[in-house]
Amino acid sequence: MVAVVVVATIGFVVLADYPWFDGLYMSVITLATIGYGEVNPLDTTGRVWAITVIVAGFTTLVYAASVLSAVFVSGEFTNAVKARRGERMRAQLQDHVIVVGFGRVGRAVVKGVVNERRPCIVIDRERALDESISEAGVVGLIGDASEESTLREAGIERAEAIVAAAHDDATNLVVVLTARALNPKLRIVARVNDPAWYDRICRAGAHQALSPYESYGIALAASALDASVVGVQDLPTLGLRAEEFTVLAGSPVVGMSLEDLALAHPDVLVVGIRREQGIARWHEIPGPIAVDDVIVMLGSPSAMARVASVVVP
């Protein structure tokens, strides 16, 4: 439209001998089909030019309208708005959890993170899952998590943890390697489908590698063999779960007895301590809690979070 106005103005100046401002004025009222009349009388050449300007302006207007209509009808405008909103939401994330893959395992991970009321972003290659990710109450990012640029866009430098839950072990391995290189302090947990990949993923930088099939199998077997077994690691029907906390140097629980720890947190069941020689029940520990001890506890997610803030400050 700007080009049409400029060309029309030049035409009126050259062909009709209009001053520049009068030529611009004549171009605007002609393109706008206002019909105020000619600034100065036009000869045949000038009127032919005016007709040309009208046709060009109408054609440009129709083309512009069709392009805008196509943008809105095809959803490009809506997608652009969603993309921009997603960028703003990702930029605001801090100490969040990145979940790679939104399959069955990834959905379960997201549900657990959301239940903990922690910020979460999901990376998946399938654009069709974008709406499902939003419905899960988390931020979505469509892309390849094995690419450095995608992880940076997910704010990996500001993230607290990443869960590589893709269905392909090779993809999870690359994600672990890339994530470890971008953020050495990041906690990394990876899904392992084939046990042969376990050592490789751990050596790549994962703090923990878990096989959902093995854990599910153990739980199913235990439940099948003993009707009193509710769960091996978690007790979902009771809202409880088991966790292990490694006691680090400087922790306020160092030197404390397990009995005192249990009295300080009555809403958590202290199961025992796991050391190099194995796990011992809490009343069988000969001495106080020491550095590198792994305390095994059972409790609700909120209670476990309070204990974690004390044991691992």
Q: In this predicted model, what pLDDT tens digit does every residue of 164-197 receive, in sequence order?
A: 999 899 999 999 999 999 999 999 999 998 888 9
pTM of the model: 0.57
Adjacency order of strands within the sheet including 269-275: 234-235, 240-246, 294-299, 269-275, 278-281
**Position 229 pLDDT exceeds 60:** no
Strand-strand pairing, 97-100 and 161-164 = parallel
Lowest mean pLDDT segment, chosen from 18-32, 184-198, 240-254, 272-286: 272-286
The dotted CATH code for 93-215 is: 3.40.50.720
Q: For the chain, how big is the Rg over CA atoms in Å? A: 33
How far is 107 from 133, CA to CA, in rounded Å? 9
The token pair that represents 52 in the structure block: 């040309």
- Please indicate whether the domains covering 93-215 and 235-311 agree at the CATH topology level: no
Residue type, 56: A
pLDDT in tens, 45-74: 888 998 898 898 889 888 888 888 877 776
Over the stretch 292-308, which tens digit does the pLDDT of each residue have? 888 888 888 778 888 88
**Domains in the chain: boundaries:** 2-74, 93-215, 235-311
Residue 161 pLDDT class (50, 70, 90 cuts) = very high
Residue 124: pLDDT over 90: yes
pLDDT at 77: 65
φ/ψ bin of 105: left (φ > 0), alpha (ψ from -120 to 50), beta (otherwise): alpha
Q: 231 pLDDT exceeds 50? A: no
pLDDT on residue 123:
93
Average pLDDT over residues 278-286: 72
Q: Which CATH number fits domain 2-74: 1.10.287.70, 3.40.50.880, 1.25.40.20, 3.40.470.10?
A: 1.10.287.70
- Residue of 10 and 285 predicted with greater confidence: 10
Does domain 235-311 correspond to CATH entry 3.40.50.970? no
